[in-house]
A and B are shown apart, each in its own frame.
Chain A
């Protein structure tokens, strides 16, 4: 099985970090994987997206043109990529930042007010990991085991103090109904 994941939003929302976490989950599982950032001159506030491919077979293109899973963390991202999602795919929408509903009827849509939840819980910068937590709950390609190890790997030693808040964010997303 091959799963193409596209995470898209503004620079500064932790788009690449969320992708890195998923890539590290893949590493722990011993799966084939690739992680590809959009890179550009834009920093905070610009657009950012990240392609992650998890597969049981060697990966061809690391560029996710037609995602199985789309995470849209702002409206321009949903506008741009909604039509590219494969039929039967899944779209995660940060409903605190995106006012509209997904138009397509042939995809599964999960709305979660991640940014609002992050603010309410005093972890304003971790809406990305709240969505990751929700992904762990909703997507069977991401087992919940090993999650602590993946967080430890992706939170660098220098920022080890951020381990707890990342785990908290994932927990909030995982439990969100």
Chain B
């Protein structure tokens, strides 16, 4: 670890990806993540890596599919509409059990939407997104430091479990600058994977990368195997931050920029004497259900704070089996709630007025 530098969130992702051994970036520009691609365009040629601006998002994700098949670290990035275009390719990569990193710096939708920050791709990210039964590992940074940190984690988990990972950020965390301590350069020495398609040199059997299984029981077995892996991930890889939860009677749940805003509201509520804490999911899939389930035994209610019409709130209700009320504080379309709006939601949950 070195000294802190001042960087934009999008740039921190790019630098962290390079330091964690990624030498292949395939993308297509879109606001508000373009700084990431621009950073890669500058750096990759200097370090023997590949930066390629594809002709479309669809082409980019299929190039990712190709590089992933060789076992090399590879990534793409885009923002909401572009991520929708990539879904077919992501489903193929998941169906072929290949690791890669997809970065979504979300903007308001649906459709072409706007370019201001949003979290309304939560469903798409955490429930699969493309066709078929599959999941992505989804990490949700709420600071520039986490943009860097979780990029490395997402690569590691993707490789460990041979599945695509998504870093789900938003325009605010992408555009803001904060001091960041970048991870050390990781040895990029390539280790041969026992599944990678790298040429047999006539010395070993073929490795086959494929997502087509025309025999139903074989395809079913593939799905069962994959979901057995998913179950292990859900048991061991859920990550979250617990903030002032020890004596909390109300639990705010928020991720990304919404968690940053909520933190101010939690502190303001504490100053009013309200016992409020926050659980901030760091992984959205696996969702930290166990932590919420345990919190449900102690708190009288939850407040879900989201930049969407209410998506994560469904996972909260599932996690706590609807045992406690969940209040929604939300903005959409690129608007961001103020700490005052979150505080109003907290007061409402506490049984007070909504002023």
Interface residues of A (CB under 8 A from B): 20, 23-24, 27, 32-37, 39-41, 59-63, 65
Contacts and interface: CB of A to CB of B under 8 A. Distances in A.
Nearest to A40: B115
Given A61-B264, A62-B260, A36 B176 contact: yes
Nearest to A27: B6
A156 B255 CA distance: 34
19 contacts: A20-B177, A23-B177, A27-B4, A27-B6, A27-B179, A33-B179, A34-B177, A34-B178, A35-B178, A37-B175, A39-B115, A39-B175, A40-B116, A60-B260, A62-B172, A62-B176, A62-B257, A63-B261, A65-B339
Interface in B97-141: 115-116
A35 B6 CA distance: 9
B250 interface: no
- Interface-centre pick from A40, A60, A65 (highest chain B CB count, 10 A): A60
Given A27-B179, A61-B260, A62-B176, A39 B339 contact: no
A60 B178 contact: no
A36 B117 CA distance: 12
Nearest to A39: B175
Given A61-B261, A65-B338, A34 B115 contact: no
A156 B250 CA distance: 47
Interface in B258-273: 260-264, 267
Contact of A62 (B171, B178, B338): B178
Interface in B169-192: 171-172, 175-179
A20 B6 CA distance: 10
B276 to A, nearest CB: 13
A33 B338 CA distance: 19
B336 interface: yes
A104 B278 CA distance: 36
Nearest to B263: A60
Interface in B313-355: 336, 338-340
A23 B115 contact: no
B80 to A, nearest CB: 15
B115 A36 contact: no
A34 B176 contact: yes
A39 B171 contact: yes
B70 interface: no
A98 B4 CA distance: 39
Contacts of B262: 60
Given A39-B31, A39-B32, A61 B177 contact: no
Contacts of B171: 39
Interface in B227-243: none
A36 B116 CA distance: 13
B35 to A, nearest CB: 10
Nearest to A41: B115
Interface string B11-34: 000000000000000000001100
Q: Which are the 8 A-B pairs with shortest beta-carbon distances?
A: A60-B263, A60-B264, A35-B177, A36-B176, A61-B261, A65-B338, A61-B264, A61-B260
Contacts of B6: 23-24, 27, 35
Contacts of B4: 27
Contacts of B340: 65
Contacts of B32: 39
Nearest to A36: B176
A22 B48 CA distance: 36
Given A60-B263, A61-B339, 6 more contacts: A27-B179, A35-B177, A36-B177, A37-B175, A63-B336, A65-B338
Given A61-B339, A65-B340, A36 B175 contact: yes
Nearest to A32: B179
A41 B179 CA distance: 26
Interface string B76-92: 00000000000000000
Nearest to B174: A39
Contacts of A23: 6, 177
Contacts of A37: 175-176
A44 to B, nearest CB: 17
A71 B172 CA distance: 21
Contacts of B177: 20, 23, 34-36
B115 to A, nearest CB: 7
A59 B32 CA distance: 23
Contacts of B264: 60-61
Contacts of A39: 31-32, 115, 171, 175
Contacts of A41: 115
A59 B178 CA distance: 10
A20 B178 CA distance: 11
